[in-house]
Structure 1
């Protein structure tokens, strides 16, 4: 293991504390340390490193300054009422049209796969996966053993997985 990795593993908690102090961000400190680790590895790939502690502190301080400046710009935009700029950069939670089409296709294939199962296997699977029924409840409802209920659910699951491949 190289000296940079050894330092990182040994001093991780201290690096998080340092990031917390220079950024004044209790919740983002771990993210800063992770980003600093990536940057330090990139630097180490280009040039020799003398003191890993000095490098990490310098990178963490610079990242904290950059993040604080960015947050300051965002706050000023919000204060000035420029919501369109902020909203334009926000992530959209809706899936893409392609992901929606793929999901619909998968759902149709799953529906078709369930339709090809014998009724007892399909009912056991639907009770377990869609209704959250326990194997004991499925066994009682279908008048079979718990072991057989488990086998039916596993069989149906394998069948559905195979049909989605």
Structure 2
């Protein structure tokens, strides 16, 4: 008999504090009442003396029940949302046909600019940017120094970047 009376005394003693805790977490007094009641029902199923810190355990149950309800509410909001409303909030990341054409024109102009560069500079840019060669590999292939390769590529890319900026 004594083991049954203890949990009820525990509930009556700590009910106000548990309600305040649940209210603080949920922001809703009615929901807090429901959660504390549900937490108590779950707690009362535990064997007597199996919980070392009953108030902390009750707080954990309350927090977990609130999280579960919030998740369920979020899922229900998503599942009952109006399709047109949900679709209207999706950002359209597709590129317009006009942007595609403009980009292609810029690429053509850049390729023409590379073709118009001195042979060594054009080859250095192609090897480095299109073929993925390292600076030292480009330098070895062209028979020039690494700093010279770097300078050729930097000058050529400055021209390409100017064309790209003009096209925007």
Normalised-by-shorter TM-score class? 0.3 to 0.5
TM-score normalized by the length of structure 1: 0.47
Return the TM-score normalized by structure 2: 0.47
Kindly name which structure, 1 or 2, has the bigger radius of gyration based on alpha carbons. 2
